[in-house]
Amino acid sequence: MADARFTGTDRYVATPDLMMAVNAAVTLARPLLIKGEPGTGKTQLAEEIARSLARPLYEWHIKSTSKAQHGLYEYDAVSRLRDSQLGEEKVHDIRNYIVKGRLWEAFESEVQPVLLIDEIDKADIEFPNDLLRELDRMEFYVHETRELVKARHRPIILITSNNEKELPDAFLRRCFFHYIRFPDAQTLEKIVRVHYPDLKKELLAEALGAFFNVRETPGLKKKPSTSELLDWIKLLLAEDIPPEALRGDDPKKTIPVLHGALLKNEQDVHLFEQLVFLNRRAGR
Amino acid sequence: MLVRFFTDLRASGVPATLPEFLVLLEGLEARLAALSPEGFYYLARTALVKDERHFDRFDRVFARHFAGAEDFFQQLMRELPEDWLKQLSERLFSEEEKARVESLGGWQKLIETLKQRLLEQQERHEGGGKWIGTGGTSPFGHGGYNPEGVRIGSQAGRHGRAAKVWEARVYRNLDGQRELGTRNVKMALRRLRRFAREGAPEELDLDGTIQSTARNAGILDLRMQAERRNAVKLLLLLDVGGSMDPYVRTCEELFSAARAEFKHLEYFYFHNFPYERVWKDNRRRFDAITGTWALLRTFNSDYRVVIVGDATMSPYEIEQPGGSVEHWNEEAGRVWMQRITSHFPRLVWLNPEPEERWKWTPSIGITRELVGGRMFSLTIDGIDRAMYELRRGSPYTAPHVS
């Protein structure tokens, strides 16, 4: 395990604190809980870890109706009932009707896998508590077949949360924790470079300037994040916008072109336009 | 040293526990953090702190605790330029001497010794001023690891960056010092859950299926039923402005917790006491109002009502027509309150004022009597009791008024 160190990939810029958190979780085989603003690449992190360490990735996306049991297995009583009507042979073995969940699949993996439990806060408030034993011991019991499923290799577990619900202490205590902070200008530039290596320098500088200007507008409901910046730059490139168009005399007095990619809420757009208007009037 | 760091963390309100501390030690043992203080900072943070709100507190304790070490490294950078160290090592050490260093257990051990030494010295010396000048050079002059000294120099460089990391205190805004987390409130609100089957039938009704299959002489007859959902309807009336200002955050927490827990949640605001009008948007409280009569007509009696307010005002505001501080009310607050309590049999009043102060404020006494004694303090325990009251079988019936 000592050789497997995550240092970011060609598509993903990892800060030193993030690298430390990932490596600690990998080495000590404990789940890593990732929080952060939406659009800072929480989910992508799991994909990149799996890619860079060459491990299979199992994704378990949580919905508001998800139960912890869904990740382990489900017993498909309906098909068994139906098969019993049709007189199928396989009806005699209950094993045929146990549908494996993502956790079980990850436990069975030949090499140590990466398991992503995405947006755990979407589920019911009791959900994390129901997974305590499974994450701690990496085993669970299948009541229908009376067998104990044990992980062949403790998976590298990544859990993301958007902070919609607070997670129970007992759960938190078993995880490593990392909060992805919104990147500073330098890191952001690196991230954009990774995604658009041929981007002209002036355009990048102008775009970042305009972007931070929008982000610092007080009172925005949803601040634009890294993923929005990348989308916006993609649009700028597709429309072939020259860097001058982003400049204006004063960044506070102009609305950036194609701002729809940055502001996703009509109240925010309205607020921003109002501020720009005020600044213009005050500047005259 | 680390144990003291851990206890200091706990004392400063970071809820780190012993197993987490052991994990940190395990991580150190696995050489996760090598020798870099920055690495140690990140490892300690990821292992001990599980909430970004506590990052700032962690940074402060960390800075206080390792302040001496930090100064030391910075001084070292100033006093011992890396090039100089490199040259010195080239000059002072012959090849065989370097080889002997290797044979003495390698760098790892030497670094270990150095680390210990640094910690010892720091413990004896807290402030970091004078000791660095004199003691600072001595461990590095000390036998045999001058080639390694170069690496120490580069480590120190990284340390300088780390010092900035925790001194920048970027997580300051996230530190909430919240007493009442929304999770606690939610757990209390859960008492009010009443599950009922509603909506499209999409779950297998096992009992129903067995029964109808049996009736069908063994031919399978599937029965489906709707999913169980929380069917409780809640109406939240919140006092805003004036004396309620100190409690805004608590109310917001209650509100956000309630919003996530209940499918049917309606909320309205009022000022000081409910009169003939309430409103939904506090910014437009004078033009987008809802009449209290309309409120009583719109929502059935099966809505459970939670009123949040400190009920602290002049008794005239309740007893007299025209008593409102904001407008002229034709009918007294008492009349409106009685209408509300008689329409909604299940109602509680949550009061953020501490319970022991209630008896000193006459208006609280009046309000308490108006809601039939169902006033609870806005604490976890109070909410718990209020929720119990709301789900009780026999609701309180208020005297009827028209």
- In tens, the pLDDT along A128-157 reads 888 888 888 888 999 888 899 998 888 999
User: Helix B95-103 and helix B106-124: axis angle, to 10°?
Assistant: 80
Least confident of A63-67, A149-153, A238-242, B58-62: A238-242
Q: Which residues of B touch A164 (CB under 8 A)?
A: 260
CB contact, 8 Å: A45 with chain B? no
CB contact, 8 Å: A70 with chain B? no
pTM, entire model: 0.59
Give the pLDDT of residue A100: 92
CB contact, 8 Å: A35 with chain B? yes
CB contact, 8 Å: A4 with chain B? no
Surface of A (106-125) touching B: CB under 8 A: 125
Which contiguous run of DSSP H or E holds residue B230?
strand B224-230
Predicted complex ipTM: 0.74
User: Helix A226-239 and helix A185-195: axis angle, to 10°?
Assistant: 50
Coil vs helix vs strand at A38: coil
A·B CB contacts under 8 A: 83
Q: Which residues of A touch B165 (CB under 8 A)?
A: 17
Coil vs helix vs strand at B257: helix
Give the Cα-Cα-Cα angle B398, B256, A226 (nearest 5 degrees): 165
| Number of alpha helices (DSSP H) and beta strands (DSSP E) in chain A | 13, 9
- CA B194 → CA B87, B197, B259, B262, B345, distances in Å? 77, 10, 16, 10, 17
**Which one of A65, A77, A179 has the shortest CB-CB distance to B52?**
A179
More confident residue, A76 or B133: A76
Residue of chain A whose alpha carbon sits nearest to that of B52: A179
- Give the residue from B24, B42, B193 with the most A CB atoms within 10 Å of its CB, the best one to mutate: B42
What is the least distance, in Å, from the CA of A158 to any CA of chain B?
13
Q: Which of A115, A111, A109, A128 is nearest to A45 (CA)?
A: A115
pLDDT reading at A62 higher than 80: yes
More confident residue, A165 or B9: B9
Give the pLDDT of residue B73: 47
The residues of chain B scoring below 50 in pLDDT are 72-73, 75-93, 107, 121-164, 172-180, 402
Q: Which residues of A touch B182 (CB under 8 A)?
A: 165-166
Residue of chain B whose alpha carbon sits nearest to that of A76: B204
| A56: confidence class by pLDDT, cuts 50, 70, 90 | very high
Cβ pair A173:B17 closer than 8 A: yes
CB B209, CB B174: distance < 8 Å: no
CB B396, CB B374: distance < 8 Å: yes
Q: Which residues of B touch A81 (CB under 8 A)?
A: 209, 213, 220, 222
Residue of chain A whose alpha carbon sits nearest to that of B171: A181
CB contact, 8 Å: A23 with chain B? yes
The residues with which A35 forms a beta bridge, in sequence order, are A161, A179
CB B24, CB B47: distance < 8 Å: yes
Cβ pair A20:B20 closer than 8 A: no
Give the pLDDT of residue A63: 86
Residue of chain B whose alpha carbon sits nearest to that of A19: B42
* Region A263-277 average pLDDT: 77
What is the least distance, in Å, from the CA of B27 to any CA of chain A?
7
| A4: confidence class by pLDDT, cuts 50, 70, 90 | low
Cβ pair B27:A27 closer than 8 A: yes
Cβ pair B42:A77 closer than 8 A: no
CB A22, CB A32: distance < 8 Å: yes
Give the pLDDT of residue B153: 36
pLDDT reading at A252 higher than 80: no
> Which contacts (CB < 8 Å, 24+ apart) does range B216-219 have?
B219/A85
- Give the residue from A161, A164, A179 with the most B CB atoms within 10 Å of its CB, the best one to mutate: A179
